[in-house]
Amino acid sequence: ESADNAAAGTASAGADNPDVVGAAPTEGGSKTEASSAAASVAGDKEKEKEKDAERDKDRGEKTAGKRVNPHKYVLYQPSFSHIQVYVASAFKEIGDQGCVLLYLSSEGSALESTDTDEGAGAGAGIGGTAAATHGYIGGISTSRRNAGDAGRDRSVEQQLVNTVHPADLVPYTRKPFFLIVESASAAAYRNMPNLFNQPLLCLLSPTAYPTTTNSSGGSIYTFFLYSPVVAFSVVSQIAKIGADKWLRLEAMFAGLEDLSFDLIVAHVTDPNTRRFLSDDFLRQIVCRHVVCCAVLALHRDFGRPENRPQSAPESFADVVSAPALRRKVRDVVEFCAAEELYRMEDEAPSSSLKEQQQRGSEDGDSDGSGGADGSSAGEERAVHASPVPATPALSPQQSVLSADNQEHSTTTSA
């Protein structure tokens, strides 16, 4: 019994302290038991190491799957020099596979030629200067004065100096460049040259909004890029949305974005534009731009060209006019019972109608132009709450700069 107790004590001590194993046993059986105990301890440690390695591997895979948040610069009422410094910093930070995303929101500065410029020397006016000839034709204003001020900063010369012209951004198009402009002068960036054959895409807001649209919290176009449900509620004059209806609308607009992406893949052949679709954040912005164009194209109050967004290059015209996309937009309109604000049937050209009438009078047949969906009124629903959508994550290869020079701040995806 004493020998057995001694062997057990030695094995127990060995289990607690490996250095004690085999130090004192006097019989062969005790040595065997002590050795087996040490082997079991070593096996347990190996299993723990394997488990730790598996945890580290899983943790590494999860970390690798996460999006690395890029460096962002958000500037409020920046000067021209501030914008240039930070855009240059963003340009320097990104690699060859990266992209600079620049969002500009400000008052416009439209510099147009005047009759007094004729016969004047270079520098006397805008219309006859070399600045206008080389693309310095207006754009985002960086002046801090209000539009009603008649001081020196509002002179034509000062407007030329305190404006981010399209030509000012051309040097940064040596790398992929994604530009979003929210301004009354957004159309100035429509003909921005692509001199370096790098991916370049400009998404431009409407230059004017109907007076019937009331959006005191920001711009309609920015709302569409951030949350299409909020933007659709504003243009459809929906004051309150219930929680259940909100979730249903989010699902419907998610379907619109998926359909837009499928149509873009099918219709857009420009390789530079398609390259931006490889990033999920930029892809979401592009799809929401298309959804915005499709919704406003059917809205009765947004019938003028200046009331609708544009893009440069203009690659999405066929996508916006696709019957499948319009059909889904009309489904959303019917769901919200807002048919009186939208065109629920496609209007056939007058020439086609005349031809159909002629064929009908001669042959007794009429090839009626098929409209899109029917215009059945949607069922009215009670609404109460308005949740706030989450901001999407950014790409690890993007460097983002957002500048807002308006008196009211707008919410941006960046």
pLDDT value, residue 215: 62
pLDDT value, residue 33: 57
d(CA 205, CA 156): 24
pLDDT value, residue 29: 55
d(CA 165, CA 147): 18
pLDDT value, residue 129: 61
Q: Is the backbone of residue 278 left (phi > 0), alpha (psi -120 to 50) or beta?
A: alpha
pLDDT value, residue 376: 36
Helix (H) or strand (E) holding 172: none
d(CA 385, CA 264): 34
**DSSP for 16-47?**
H-GGGTTSS--SHHHHHHHHHHHHHHHHHHHH
Token pair listed for 243: 């929680």
pLDDT value, residue 110: 57
Token pair listed for 315: 């690659």
Q: Which of 357, 354, 333 is nearest to 345 (CA)?
A: 333
pLDDT value, residue 201: 97
d(CA 19, CA 243): 66
Task: Please confirm whether the linkage preceding 78 is cis (ω < 30° from 0).
Answer: no
pLDDT value, residue 310: 95
- pLDDT < 50 positions in the chain: 1-3, 5-26, 63, 112-128, 146-148, 150-153, 349-357, 359-397, 405-414
- This prediction has a pTM of 0.67
Q: Tell me the average pLDDT of the chain.
A: 74
